[in-house]
Amino acid sequence: MQMNIAQEAAAILTRLRATRPLIHHITNSVSINDCANITLAIGASPVMADDVQEVGEMVAVASALVLNLGMPNPRKIEAMLIAGKRAAQKGIPIVLDPVGVGATKLRMETAKRFFSEMNISVVRGNLAECKALLGFSGGSQGVDCILKEEYKENFAQELAQKLGCVVAITGATDIVASGSQLCRIHNGNSLLTGITGTGCMTTSLVACFSSVNRETFIGAVAGIAAMGVAGEIAEHSLKPGEGLGTFRIRLMDAISNMKQETLLNRMKIS
């Protein structure tokens, strides 16, 4: 089963680069350039339209939609709702990055609207963000429990069942869960947390892989594993005296040079 998941996840890369799907992002200005470039590097085409007058038309020709709560405002939230409803009509994956969702009432209320008014396919967040989502969806586990690493798997599955979508929690070990499946991804390194936007970029990769597979559980595994493998390759390439600036460049190089065999051979999943 593990090898089947790895083989299927890696095989998506070839289809992705053959079809160059359009990935529509409504994201934040901190990471928008990195998200566009990582989408190009993996072999897809990004569009970052966020005006209410065009998002419906734009998502109609896209193969996946990324919604990022990093810098919410009323105009952008309206655009996200328009795009999300159109994406649902078209049947394309919607990948939500609930950045800082538990930090403010605006972010939490916006997330609630998203889940009530559109069909989210994948949530990709860290443990604290996903904990906040479980809070509004009626989770049963206590805060002290779900912040412990050993509870993360059960928590991810509970949240996936309650939200009715794939949940990907990134961290020291990445967990991808659906109502019936769970996968642990053991790739990556601490340098990925040292540069801005790697979480947002990972969300973009999840959308890219999900856009051509439509089995969003495997798409999430593939996107998260690709970022982890790229992080390892980038770190290994560093010479003495090279730091985070060089790592950031090498990370993009590793994604653009990623091959199906590399992903399959280096992917560590259980």
Is 266 labeled as ligand-binding? no
* Element (DSSP H or E) covering residue 34: helix 32-42
Helical residues (DSSP H) of 118-243, grouped into ranges: 127-136, 143-146, 152-163, 198-213, 216-237
Beta strands 45-47 and 122-125 are unpaired
Is 262 labeled as ligand-binding? no
- If DSSP codes are grouped into helix, strand and coil, which group holds residue 174? strand
R_g over Cα of the chain: 17
CA–CA gap between residue 195 and residue 130 (Å, rounded): 21
Closest CA to 13 of 218, 236, 252: 218
Is 86 labeled as ligand-binding? no
Binding residue numbers for substrate? 48, 197
Binding residue numbers? 48, 124, 170, 197
Binding residue numbers for ATP? 124, 170
